[in-house]
Every structure is written in structure tokens, then in C-alpha cells.
């Protein structure tokens, strides 16, 4: 939140944040990063299972025995980076690199003939689009307060 000021007979947002909004941001941003990162940290290790590799292979993913574990590493490292707020922009870029090909190859609802499976893949596709949006926001804005990135920037 910012305090609105009048300048040249039009409203312009001031650069002075309202103290209550500052406190809420300081408390909520790390929680939001943790909630966002949870799906990647939880799912990353499952990419090493034979079931996940087999599923991706059956979906037509080439070199699934290499690409699926590699995508798990991207997801886990990106999620950990965002969670800690340590090089969060780079971590978010890793998540973008993970999400784009996975979303397009594994959740191609438009090519599924079974209506129930198509609906499930559509939901997963849309979930990934939301995650992609969040990753792009973090890639742009960074980790925010209460992060290793903020601490590093304060000491410069």
C-alpha cells in the first residue's frame, strides 16, 4: 500500500509505504515463497522413481530416463532457492525452465481423447500456468524481504 498524494491535479502513488503494509509484506512474503516452493520441493525427488520415468516415457518424452531426473533436479533446486530467497531470481528461472516443457509435454489436454483424462490434464495444465506466472513474478521482482538476497543487498 502507498499513500496517495496530489501532484499536478492528478493522483500519483507516493514512494512512502504505509507502515502496516510494510509489516504485512515482511511477514507474508516469506510465507508465500514457502507455499510456492512446496510443490517443487515435494515433487522434485519423485522424478527419480521408476514410475515417474515410465509415465513420462509412455507420454512420449524422449530420453525419459535422463530428462525426468534432470527435471527433478531443476524443480528441487529452483524450489529451494525460492524458499530460502537465495539467488531467488535464478531459482525462479530454473522453475520456468522446468515448467514450460513439462506443461506442454506432460499436460497436453488437447491431444487426450478420454474426456475425464482430458479434464484432469486441463486442470494440471492450468495449475502449471499459475505456477509459471508465480515463477515469472519472482524472476522479475526477486525474493523480497526476509531473504538471503535482501540480506546480501543490505550489506552492499
pTM to 2 decimal places: 0.83
Confidence check: pLDDT of 19 > 90? no
Specify whether the CB–CB gap between 73 and 136 falls below 8 A.
Answer: no
Task: Specify the pLDDT at position 14.
Answer: 52
* Mean pLDDT of all residues in 83-99: 97
Of the two residues 120 and 12, the one the predictor is more confident about is: 120
DSSP 23-82: HHHHHHHHHHHHHHHHHHHHHGGGGGSHHHHHHHHHTT-TTHHHHHHHHHHHHHHHHHHH
**56-79-97-86 Cα dihedral, nearest 10 degrees:** -160
Q: What is the pLDDT of residues 34-74, one digit of tens each?
A: 999 999 999 989 999 999 999 999 989 999 999 999 999 99
Task: Specify the pLDDT at position 22.
Answer: 81
CA pair distance 68, 50, nearest whole angstrom = 10
CA pair distance 114, 110, nearest whole angstrom = 10
Amino acid at each position: 500500500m502507498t499513500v496517495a498524494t496530489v501532484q499536478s491535479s492528478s493522483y500519483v502513488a507516493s514512494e512512502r509505504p504505509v507502515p502496516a503494509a510494510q509489516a504485512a509484506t515482511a511477514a507474508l512474503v516469506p510465507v508465500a515463497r514457502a507455499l510456492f516452493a512446496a510443490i517443487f520441493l515435494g515433487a522434485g525427488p519423485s522424478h527419480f522413481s521408476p514410475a515417474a520415468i515410465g509415465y513420462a516415457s509412455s507420454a512420449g518424452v524422449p530420453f525419459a530416463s535422463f530428462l525426468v531426473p534432470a527435471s527433478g533436479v531443476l524443480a528441487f533446486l529452483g524450489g529451494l532457492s525460492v524458499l530460502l530467497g537465495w539467488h531467488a531470481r535464478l531459482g525462479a528461472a530454473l522453475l520456468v525452465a522446468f515448467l514450460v516443457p513439462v506443461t506442454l509435454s506432460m499436460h497436453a489436454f488437447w491431444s487426450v481423447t478420454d474426456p475425464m483424462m482430458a479434464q484432469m490434464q486441463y486442470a494440471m495444465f492450468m495449475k502449471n500456468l499459475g505456477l509459471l506466472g508465480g515463477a515469472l513474478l519472482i524472476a522479475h521482482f526477486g525474493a523480497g524481504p526476509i531473504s538471503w538476497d535482501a540480506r546480501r543487498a543490505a550489506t552492499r
